Amino acid sequence: MTISRRNLIRTTSGVAALSLIGKLSSQIDDRHHVVVVGGGFAGSTLARYLSLWGEQKFRITLIDPSSEHSSCVMSNLVLTNQIALSKLTFSHTPLADRFNFATRVGSVSEIKAGAKSVLLADGSELSYDTLVLATGIELDAIDGYDPARIPHAWIAGDSTELLRQQLNEELPAGGHVVMTIPEAPYRCPPGPYERACLLAAMARQITDANGGSGVNGSPTVTVLDANEDIQAEKATFTAAFEELYGDIIDYRRGVKITRIDSDNRTAYTTVGAFSGDVLNVIPNHQAPAILRNAGLVPTGDRWAPVDPVTYESALIGGIYVIGDAQATSQPKSAHMANAQAKVCADAIIRKTAGLATHASERINNLTTNSACFSPVNFNEAAWLTAVFRYNTASRLMELAPNSLGASEGWDRESYDDMYTWASNLFSDTFV
């Protein structure tokens, strides 16, 4: 089960449950309408593979507030001016044309499970036979926090551009950046630590361009982690913080945000107040309100429980939840969202065709996988990968034995591999 480095780059799905596909579509009623809410990594992959494996028998409608999706994957490199956000932005139209499904620009405001329909913010209503929710995350509100002025850059788009602009135009030589890390589980476990490294690289570059010092002497990046420890690639990031940025990064554990002063770029926390020339606040995450309001998230929980054999909601039948919004303990990542979407597409096809989704040949081979590449400076990266396998006894997706792989430190080759890996993932999702 060990994934080699080369396989990591090539692999964009660990799904091993597709043996019957190709023999089923004649049994699918072509009036069956699948509505997919969200055109990010999970939703776009779902629409793509449901159409492909279902041999275009389904009527599919993909709904998203935008006609295009900006990828969070690689978006930390937008901050360092190494990639333009436009290069990470994918229109839904070519995918929909190629795989013959409909798109609708709009935001779903309510799920009417009883009526099998969704309400859109423009007041229109769309009925479905099967509903797939691929909405990603919602960021918690924080007292005083104005995301229009204090960027999170954790849902790629305007916020990413705002943080890029503040770093490039408002961070002086010897300047001070403050960033916060949300409580786990959050999307992309290594992502915040990768960002801390890149913020430090930026702060150093700006200072070096000024002769090595600035108004405050050396630059600093204060990292306020709500968790008690580094959440992914601990050895790598501990080494990176010490060896690459020991003079810049001030990493603090177990710090909870209580209030943000958006005018003065100050974070008030359980251990005091921290002000920066640039303040990057990444709030805690949860499944979006439309899922919570529909009863898909138990009271007091943050994520939607599902059966990982199908991704059907554990609470409301006929509704599937894939990607970051669902509650399995698999990492919240784009690679994983892509893999879950394939398992879900396969399950929807089987269920619609009247075949068993929990047949032993399927559940005994059900795997997903995840991969994250983390640049730690302008030309070197580390990586992490894991395979998850369905345990028929616990009925959970569990880390497969010996499948956890991580780079030893960081290097240039991994940085180059990162582009190949991302290109493969983007192609398998949006193209």
Ligand X SMILES: Cc1cc2nc3c(=O)[nH]c(=O)nc-3n(C[C@H](O)[C@H](O)[C@H](O)COP(=O)(O)OP(=O)(O)OC[C@H]3O[C@@H](n4cnc5c(N)ncnc54)[C@H](O)[C@@H]3O)c2cc1C
Using rule CB under 6 A, residue 187 touches ligand X: yes
Report the relative pairing of strands 249-252 and 257-261 from DSSP bridges: unpaired
CA pair distance 38, 47, nearest whole angstrom: 10
Among 24, 88, 111, 334, binds ligand X (CB under 6 A): 334
Rounded least distance, CB 383 to ligand X, Å = 9
- By beta-carbon proximity to ligand X, the closer residue of 153 and 248 is 153
- Interface with ligand X by CB under 6 A: which range of 32-40, 173-181, 216-224, 309-317? 32-40
**Which amino acid would we find at residue 379?**
N
Rounded least distance, CB 250 to ligand X, Å = 21
Using rule CB under 6 A, residue 3 touches ligand X: no
Using rule CB under 6 A, residue 283 touches ligand X: no
Using rule CB under 6 A, residue 308 touches ligand X: no
Among 9, 28, 134, 339, binds ligand X (CB under 6 A): 134
- By beta-carbon proximity to ligand X, the closer residue of 245 and 430 is 430
Residue 147 CB neighbour total at 10 angstroms? 20
SS3 428: helix
- Interface with ligand X by CB under 6 A: which range of 25-33, 58-66, 304-312, 391-399? 58-66
User: Which residues have C-beta within 8 Å of that of residue 217, sequence separation ≥ 6?
Assistant: 174
- By beta-carbon proximity to ligand X, the closer residue of 207 and 330 is 330
Query: Closest by alpha carbon to 167, among 266, 159, 142?
Result: 159
Using rule CB under 6 A, residue 65 touches ligand X: yes
End-to-end CA distance of the chain: 29
Using rule CB under 6 A, residue 182 touches ligand X: no
Report the relative pairing of strands 266-269 and 257-261 from DSSP bridges: antiparallel
Rounded least distance, CB 348 to ligand X, Å = 16
Among 3, 15, 47, 63, binds ligand X (CB under 6 A): 63
The pair of structure tokens assigned to 116 is 């099998």
Q: Give me the DSSP letters along 132-181.
A: EE----EEPP-TT--TTTS---SSSSHHHHHHHHHHHHH--TT-EEEEEE
- Interface with ligand X by CB under 6 A: which range of 57-65, 164-172, 359-367, 392-400? 57-65
Using rule CB under 6 A, residue 77 touches ligand X: no
Using rule CB under 6 A, residue 249 touches ligand X: no
Rounded least distance, CB 329 to ligand X, Å = 14
Q: What does the H/E/C string look like for 264-303?
A: CCEEEECCEEEECCEEECCCCEECCHHHHHCCCCCCCCCC
Q: Give, for 97, the enclosing helix (H) or strand (E).
A: helix 92-99
Binding site for ligand X (CB under 6 A): 37-43, 63-65, 69, 72-73, 75-76, 107-108, 134-136, 154, 187-188, 191, 288, 290, 323-324, 332-335, 337, 372-373
